[in-house]
Amino acid sequence: MAKADTSPPGESSTASFESALRELEAIVQAMETGDTSLEAALASYERGVALVRQCQDTLAAAERKLQMLESGVLRDLAIAGDDSAENGAERR
């Protein structure tokens, strides 16, 4: 039976982003030592590219969500700010 995800929304993507970033940093450190074989270096590079794409996708999704949230807040404020225009129109 599958285990139910009891983490708050967004927490698992944050955790996977953080773990992907840690793994990517470990790959970079290992490759910088130069002690790996060509085959291992190529495999590490390939894994690193996949991790970079995963991190970029996660960041892009977070940015879209923030923009959506900000645009909703800004619309609400603009509507609230229109009260003065409505009051002026009622006085005519």
Structural domains in the chain plus CATH codes:
14-91 (1.10.287.1040)
pTM beyond 0.85: no
Cα(51)–Cα(42) distance, integer angstroms: 14
SS (H, E, C) the chain: CCCCCCCCCCHHHHHHHHHHHHHHHHHHHHHHHCCCCHHHHHHHHHHHHHHHHHHHHHHHHHHHHHHHHHHHHHHHHHHHHCHHHHHHHHHC
Structure-block tokens of residue 20 = 């992907």
Q: Model confidence over 40-88: pLDDT tens digits?
A: 999 999 999 999 999 999 999 999 999 988 887 766 656 666 655 555 5
pLDDT value of position 49 = 97
